Structures are given as structure tokens and as C-alpha cells.
Amino acid sequence: MSASKFSNPVVRWIDHRLPIFSFLEHEANEYPTPKNLNYFWNFGSLAGISLVIMIVTGITLAMSYTAHVDYAFESVERIMRDVNHGWLLRYIHMNGASFFFIVVFIHIFRGLYYGSYKAPRELLWMLGVVILLLMMATAFMGYVLPWGQMSFWGATVITNLFSAIPFVGESIVTWLWGGFSVDNPTLNRFFALHYLMPFLIVGVVILHLVALHRFGSNNPLGIDTRGPQDTLPFHPYYTIKDFFGLSVFLTFLAAAVFFFPNFLGHPDNYIPADPLQTPAHIVPEWYFLPFYAILRAVPDKLGGVLAMFGAIAILFVLPWLDRSPVRSARFRPLFKIFFWILVIDCIVLGYVGAKPAEGMYLLVGRVATVWYFVHFLAILPLLSVIETPRPLPQSISTPVFGGGGGLAGAVAAPKEKL
């Protein structure tokens, strides 16, 4: 059967020895995908494409960047003024980082809403959390490279987080810096690691995809597919849908790159780094703000750091905190309410993180921080016990075709379009 799959003899010769074509055919062409996916399922492929965009523009930027405290800032300005299309590559890379996080955050909340982290997709979800952590480390180190004021003081503050570790904290920070302050050795290693980590992300993304293809995508109903009547081949149905989503995404990215390239940045980062003067008001990039708010909400150095890392670590054990067997929030009336409260909570944390840590902001930040942990540690386990889910449909085809006609409908639908 596999011999007759390809008519081209060269393809057949190669495929017999290296089954790359069979693999692609199976995983990218005929790969059965639930037929009821909505547009929230576009964000996985968008995240993958964002990663490629970041790697490609990053490699080209690295060709003109100098990782030295005396030249880094000027080499970035040279990229902006002198290197051919340098401004375009840098603005795509800068805004691409923000868009990557927007896409990934939507991807994560989609997983939360539709219960994509539940059995048998726990490892798929955990690999995703690993990717998020790697992305955050990569983005942080990338932000240091232009060696502006925000770069320098961001690097100082974030590396100092590790000084909260009892006994060995100071030694670890000195080790991270390669000196007694953020300086040239720090910049050099950050550049090396910023170049390395995207490729680690690629590796974990591949594992993420392997785990995904084991059981296939979850879907808005959160029920398992029960055969061919519930699925469509990935190509052309979802390739074309992903391409449509991509063109919308690229339109937004292009609008940002061409019309508001510095909207999400800080003007202070266009001032060269000065180790003797901290800017009056330093904030991290927007995608770190919720975590930054959690850090500042705890009035204890070690406690704040633990809470911040704990906010991500808690996602690793999420599949075991939410014990409800029902995946999709569509059939969980209480969970759905608390999901939206969590979304608002995260937005509030982000807003508070951008404001000075005083007065009302500090109070709101503390309430929101407590709620974040209450949601995962108390509400979710409690809901699994007390919530009565709405009845689940028999299969994906049932709600659409109202009963047994699923198979005929699935086959007839594409033909009618011809």
C-alpha cells in the first residue's frame, strides 16, 4: 500500500529508504483533525510561525550586532540607520516578540477554557509550559542586548531575583554576571544564550507536536473523536484555515511594524546604559507585567520571587488540580464563570504591574495575586467536586447533524462545494 502511495519513482525510491514523504503525508496531509475546530485553534500554528519569524530576523540581526558594552548600543543604531532594511528587521524582531507572546497567551487561555490540559494531553500541556518558560528567558535576554537604560536595569533587577535564594544567592548572582555587576561578561553570555535558546524552543516544540499528534487536537466540545465522521484531513481544510489566520495575523504585525513600531517599547531604552543612574520608573516589557505585579505584591524578597515563579510552576500541576472529567467550559457553567474571572484577574495584574508599587495599586495587586493562586489551588479542585456539568453530546457529529446522519454529512459536504 505504501509503495503505491506515490507515483513519482524518485519519491518512491527515497521514501522506501527514508520515509520522510510517508511521514509528511501522514502527519501534515491526511492527519485527521476534529472538524469542529474554531479560530482559537489557529494560535498554535501562529505561534510556530512567530518562532520562525523571530529566528530568521534574529539571525540576520546578529550579523550586524556587536555584543560589547562599548559598541552594542551603537551597533543597534547602525542597524537602524545604515544596514540595508535593518530598521525593518529590527522592528519585526521587536514587535514580533510582543506578537509571539500575544499569540501564546491566547493559545494558553484557549487550552484553559477548553480543558486541553486534561488526560491524555497532560505532557503536551507541560511541554507547552516549558516552552513558555524558555520564551520568557529568551525574551528577557534579548531585551538586554540593545544595552539601553531599560536593558541594563532590567538585567540588574531580574538577575538580582536570584539573590533571594538563602545562603548561595549572592554567589549565584555573581556567577550569572561573571563579575560584580551587570557588565561586559554579562552582555556576552546573554547574547550567546539568546542565540541558543530559540533552538532549544524548536526542540521542545517538536516534542510538543509529537505529543499533540499522539491523540490529535482537542476541540471546542472537549469530547473525543469517534472515527472518520468526526474528522477532516488536515490538508486542505486546516492548512487553508491556518493560512487565512496567518494573513490576518501578518496584517496586524505589519500595522505595528510600519505605523506603531515603538508603541510597546519604552523610550528610556533609547538612552545608552548608564550603570550610575537608574531611570525613575522602570517596568518590564508588557508580557512580564502580571508576573512583575505578583513579585511586588509580596512584601518579602524571597516570598515575592517564589510567588512569581510559583505562578508559572502551578501550571505544571494544573492537570491534577482540575479533576473534572469534562474538558470544555461549554459544559461547565461554574468553571466558565471562574475562567473569565481569571482572565480579568490576569489583566488586572498586568495593569497593576505597569503602575508604581504604592497605595491602591499595591492593594489591588495583592488581592489579584491571592485570587490567582486561589483559583488554581482552591476553586479548581473544589469545582471538580461540586459542579454538575451539562450533558455532553454523543459525538462531534451529533449536535451538527442531529443524530445518526454524521457519516453521510461529512462525506457529502465537500462534494457539494465542487
Partner 1 sequence: MAKSQTKSGADASVEHKSRRDFIVVATYAMGAVGAGAFVWPLVDQMNPAADTLALASIEVDVSKIVEGQSITIKWRGKPIFIRHRTASEIEEASGVLQDELRDPEGDDVRAQKPEYLVVLGVCTHLGCVPLGQKVGEVRGEYGGWFCPCHGSHYDSSGRIRKGPAPLNLEVPPYSFLSDQVIRIG
Where on the chain is the footprint of partner 1 (CB under 8 A)? 56-57, 60, 63-64, 78, 81-86, 88-89, 418
Nearest to partner 1 of 88, 264 (CB atom): 88
Q: How many helices (H) and strands (E) does the chain have?
A: 18, 2
> Shortest approach of partner 1 to residue 347 CB, angstroms?
33
Nearest to partner 1 of 54, 89 (CB atom): 89
> Shortest approach of partner 1 to residue 416 CB, angstroms?
8
Q: Catalytic residue at 397?
A: no
Q: Catalytic residue at 242?
A: yes
Which residue is catalytic, options 213, 235, 301, 336? 213
Q: What's the chain's Rg over C-alpha atoms?
A: 24
Which residue is catalytic, options 45, 151, 217, 324? 217
Which residue is catalytic, options 15, 230, 242, 322? 242
- Cβ neighbours around 378 below 10 Å, total: 11
Which string of b and e fits 23-42 if b means at least 16 CB within 10 Å?
A: eebeeeeebebbbbbeebbb
How far is the C-alpha of 279 from the C-alpha of 48, rounded, in Å? 36
Nearest to partner 1 of 128, 198 (CB atom): 198
Q: Catalytic residue at 285?
A: yes
Which residue is catalytic, options 15, 230, 285, 322? 285
Nearest to partner 1 of 237, 351 (CB atom): 237
Which residue is catalytic, options 35, 241, 355, 375? 241
Nearest to partner 1 of 84, 388 (CB atom): 84
Q: Catalytic residue at 213?
A: yes
> Shortest approach of partner 1 to residue 158 CB, angstroms?
30
How far is the C-alpha of 343 from the C-alpha of 44, rounded, in Å? 19
Q: Which three cell numbers stand for residue 10?
A: 524518485
> Shortest approach of partner 1 to residue 85 CB, angstroms?
4
Is the Cβ–Cβ distance between 369 and 307 less than 8 Å?
A: yes
Q: What angle do CA 31, 33, 36 make, to 5 degrees?
A: 165
Burial of 298 (0-12, 13-18, 19+ CB in 10 A): middle
> Shortest approach of partner 1 to residue 16 CB, angstroms?
30
Q: Catalytic residue at 77?
A: no
Known catalytic residues are 213, 217, 241-242, 285
